[in-house]
Structure 1
């Protein structure tokens, strides 16, 4: 309708221009007529092209997976079974139904397949074993990944741009570490639960009171990276940060290493290690179930003392209960649980080193009891030697110790009486500054 009106308008303009002798009407009418001719020509060409285009035929969907692959131009190819070079292919024989043990229906089904469908060969044992070997088998570290600790360590490693981040615990044995969790971009990291011994301490006692310590890795410290199964990769520096989670005689800390120096010098790196340490401490607290806590609960000291008293009296041997107390206990306890755990570990290690064959038990905060199975002169010499040695110690053991000793006598009918005498001797030793022995 619009096109017809435009055609009519162009003709009227031409007639008016001819009648009124107005040139601009000629120009306007001619231009409009030219535009209409071009529009008509374009429409005619489109209709002609549309007629020549063949209709789109949608093929029917494939009836089988093989036909679907063929419709896409894909052929299913299987490897030929391996044969020895000396072996030649056996001539094709027509198996009999009776000899092969197949039923007629099975024989018919094993005949030639329909044309156009690729023949699928049966898998040989070699192919089955090869296909089984190609299956992805999770590594040992993936099988024992902690669902909570490991993602936290993954996030910390990514934020620090570190090579490896691990959560370690140092327990009773000096220079022995256990891996609680680990995240690494290097293949060959150890699984959680792995225990290793280092030639030098990763976190020295003087570093425990620092929130973050950055150490250059070289020499013996490089050999101490036991959280790698194989030879450690290139490590230029490592950052260590104690976490505020403690058990008696155990020190928990984070370690992160990097192949280039300067990775942990940023303030953000220290902040990340400290904050993730608090998070991991909370996670460790939540992971302690009630039964495990009860299993880890220490035996009552009364039972331990009674056990030692029974053993000594049954054999007629002397027994001394020596209580060793760190003189700076109050000041160290005020520094927090991390400092307390480090000091207890150092004190216990020093006592065990001085009396390797005697029983050492914790009797309180920074107080250990030693059940020394020896007569009075030997016990006195040991106590004096230990007190003199720790009086010159530095670090956590600075300030020395007080030692109170009680020898088992007939008057000690109960464990409480034996412990009371040892406590009284310790109180006197703390006040006088000399070792006290009650016989």
Structure 2
């Protein structure tokens, strides 16, 4: 602005000198003109100095790579990995840190620029490896099973979709009220993420196993059965969706619990649970197929180098002359109970005989199990021997720990009398078999499939265990 004013003054003085013909006014006009030129020169000099400083600031700093958190530099191939690799592996369930997790890490440390250098380097190393840096979990963070990279996130998505407190995948082996936690996702922190727990009453009954989804309201006593909680919250309802597992004798099902703030008995929740049960079943099938394939390869490799049979030892698959029975399978695993029941049903049809499945549970099974495996094996040996003596000519099969199934080819009236006599006889036993037995009976009819016959017998056994009386379902 000052430069423009000086130029105007110089022009005005020159015009006046010309109009009034006064030469000294030309000299007066030169003074502001020289001032304007000086200011203009000063402006260009400052601008050139500013441009030089900007150019110098654009030069890369002379910091070392370690100061920037870069520990090593390796060539990167076309696939994006270093030294011919294809980047961090995700087989162990590790996931790349998401933008949200990076934001959370920055928010949790607003004074990041003042953090120790070692902590910042550890964080950058963790980001290079594809795993987020360790940070304390928040109180409302969902608890998942860490060693199940597929089932854990799957159950967490179901829990969030239905608004449940906990969603778990449970496995019930045989008829004992013992449930194995296959996977679990929960909002609560005081939950058991793995292992097993026992209940006083069944979580999944035989009738519930035949329905795709069952919604139950809980009272105080039912809430005590949710033993995967250390202290159960105010759970008022549960949703149960059994999985179709025809090739195993165990019962596998999804269980979701919720408080009164969430409504589980809706068509949307029913549809979600049914579809998730099918999806989880497909995941388990794929896992079992992979394990079976690996086992088959190991067996084939073992068969390539057969071991010589010791002298005097019976050949594999031969009949034991001592008791006339076939030896157990080579891998020691029992046959699925479904196959045994189907085999007996087919044999009964061929002979046109009635059939009843009797499940017998030793009442002291818990106290014996606490004594160790050796005590259980001794008790099972005596238990089976005693049952075979009391049921001559009938097939006796193990259906669980200290639990045996007896297949009777008798009418219902004769089965009832025989079961009561068996209960009285076992009540008089002493030693390892003292304490009596619980007996549940399912009499077969035309509607029964192997799974349904076993389910009815299991339900009857649970009723007998609770009441102390022999229970028969016909």
Question: What is the TM-score with the length of structure 2 in the denominator?
Answer: 0.41
Rg comparison, structure with higher value: 1
